[in-house]
């Protein structure tokens, strides 16, 4: 653990899932909580990798560690939006019990570790406003599907893992959250890791999970925009501003036609570079994020922690909407807003929910508690069974 606290990454992920045998999980949870309460993480984010919500270990993981106020939880193997909502509901109850600000505990989902999760990844990614990032995994998915191998002879992904990787990026983008690339398991092969990082950057991933400290530097190098890339992005943004004043939305720049998608890409690069610079000025040498297995014996002996790095952090803040005017009798106007989501559709019962100022995610069944956890898609059936508060 001491070594993990020296790594140049955005955060530490304390693993209560695969790193800990079932018989040792009860004894490990208090140790993870104590680490969260007593260790100086140096500004790094503090995450706990919980057990899958459909196991007996998940709720005890949350109950034991929530009082130490981690930044959030990595949620493995979500099979559907219902699994994610179950985690969110448990967090709501625990936040209220311990006086923790509502919605302050975030989630990162490992969304493709089961066949069902991969098929449902769109609804999984949009299941809760607590979600700040989506990642993917292939080892558990490969085991569930009986895949003899997931890479070809040149160490590139075969079709099913390649599909999972693509869908992670698409679903996260559609949900308005970050997408983080999965681990590279061949620890000595740093050149293969570098190649995969570059592929990830080309796919829009903002960072990459890691399983060994030796991988962190390579990941940081590849996911942090170079000075030249940042300067080009800023120059292109300035060129767009200049041409906009002239009434031109498209123009030639360095021999290439530029239009709105190029501006969007340049703004993302500039923002990543800005955050990387801000992280370095705050004594964090790289804009990265780290994770560590929760096994007390191995960590005390200095075994290698699993690491995760990413180049930006775009957690959506939760703000109260209680001051907004709304005729919604269920108190739904207090729902934390999600700017990337549509507001309630006018086709809904207007007497129950105002179309303006109330965010409903993507479906009538998307309300997290305490505002509503409907038992059925029909608005008439769940209105009568949902407490106003």
| Residue-level pLDDT at 294 | 52
Confidence of residue 268 (pLDDT cuts 50, 70, 90): confident
pLDDT of residue 149 exceeding 90: yes
pLDDT of residue 316 exceeding 50: no
* More confident of the two residues 166 and 12: 166
pLDDT tens string 90-115: 999 999 999 999 999 999 999 999 99
Q: What angle do CA 50, 52, 53 make, to 5 degrees?
A: 100
Q: Which residues contact 188 (CB under 8 A, 6 or more apart)?
A: none
Select, from the ranges 29-38, 219-228, 304-313, the one with the highest average predicted confidence (pLDDT). 29-38
Residue with the two structure tokens 């009434």: 247
pLDDT of residue 144 exceeding 50: yes
pLDDT of residue 218 exceeding 80: yes
Beta strands in the chain (DSSP E): 11-15, 45-49, 72-76, 106-110, 131-135, 178-181, 207-210, 251-253, 256-258, 292-293, 307-310
Confidence of residue 183 (pLDDT cuts 50, 70, 90): very high
Q: Please state, in angstroms and as integers, the Cα–Cα distance from residue 124 to each residue in 6, 120, 377, following that order.
A: 34, 6, 17
| Residue-level pLDDT at 249 | 83
* More confident of the two residues 269 and 73: 73
pLDDT of residue 59 exceeding 80: yes
Mean pLDDT of the residues in the chain: 77
| Residue-level pLDDT at 117 | 97
Residue 37, helix vs strand vs coil: helix
Residue 82, helix vs strand vs coil: helix
């Amino acid at each position: 653990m001491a070594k993990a606290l020296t790594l140049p990454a955005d955060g530490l992920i304390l693993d209560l899932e695969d790193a800990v045998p079932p018989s040792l999980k009860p004894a490990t949870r208090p140790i993870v909580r104590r680490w969260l309460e007593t260790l100086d993480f140096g500004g790094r984010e503090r995450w706990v990798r919980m057990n899958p919500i459909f196991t007996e270990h998940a709720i005890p993981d949350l109950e034991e560690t929530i009082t130490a106020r981690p930044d959030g939880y990595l949620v493995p193997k979500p099979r559907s939006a219902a699994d994610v909502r179950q985690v969110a509901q448990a967090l709501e109850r625990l936040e209220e019990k311990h006086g923790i600000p509502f919605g302050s505990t975030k989630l990162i989902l490992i969304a493709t570790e089961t066949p069902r999760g991969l098929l449902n990844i769109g609804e999984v990614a949009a299941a809760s406003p607590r979600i700040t990032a989506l990642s993917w995994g292939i080892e558990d998915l490969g085991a569930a599907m009986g895949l003899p191998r997931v890479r070809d002879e040149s160490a590139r992904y075969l079709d099913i893992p390649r599909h999972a990787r693509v869908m992670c990026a698409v679903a996260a983008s559609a949900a308005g959250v970050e997408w983080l690339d999965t681990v590279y398991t061949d620890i000595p092969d740093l050149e293969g890791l570098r190649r995969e990082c570059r592929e990830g950057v080309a796919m829009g991933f903002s960072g990459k999970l890691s399983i060994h400290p030796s991988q962190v530097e390579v990941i940081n190098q590849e996911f942090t925009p170079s000075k030249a890339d940042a300067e080009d992005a800023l120059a292109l943004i300035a060129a767009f501003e200049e041409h906009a004043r002239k009434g031109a939305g498209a123009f030639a720049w360095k021999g290439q036609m530029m239009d709105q998608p190029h501006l969007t890409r340049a703004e993302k690069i500039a923002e990543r570079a800005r955050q990387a610079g801000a992280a370095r000025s705050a004594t964090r040498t790289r804009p990265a994020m780290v994770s560590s297995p929760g096994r007390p014996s191995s960590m005390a002996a200095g075994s290698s922690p699993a690491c995760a790095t990413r180049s930006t952090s775009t957690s959506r803040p939760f703000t109260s909407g209680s001051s907004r005017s709304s005729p919604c009798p269920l108190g739904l106007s207090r729902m934390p807003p999600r700017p990337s989501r549509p507001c309630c559709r006018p086709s809904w019962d207007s007497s129950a929910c105002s179309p303006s100022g109330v965010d409903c995610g993507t479906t009538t069944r998307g309300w997290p508690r305490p505002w509503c956890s409907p038992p059925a898609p029909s608005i008439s059936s769940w209105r009568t069974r949902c407490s106003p508060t």
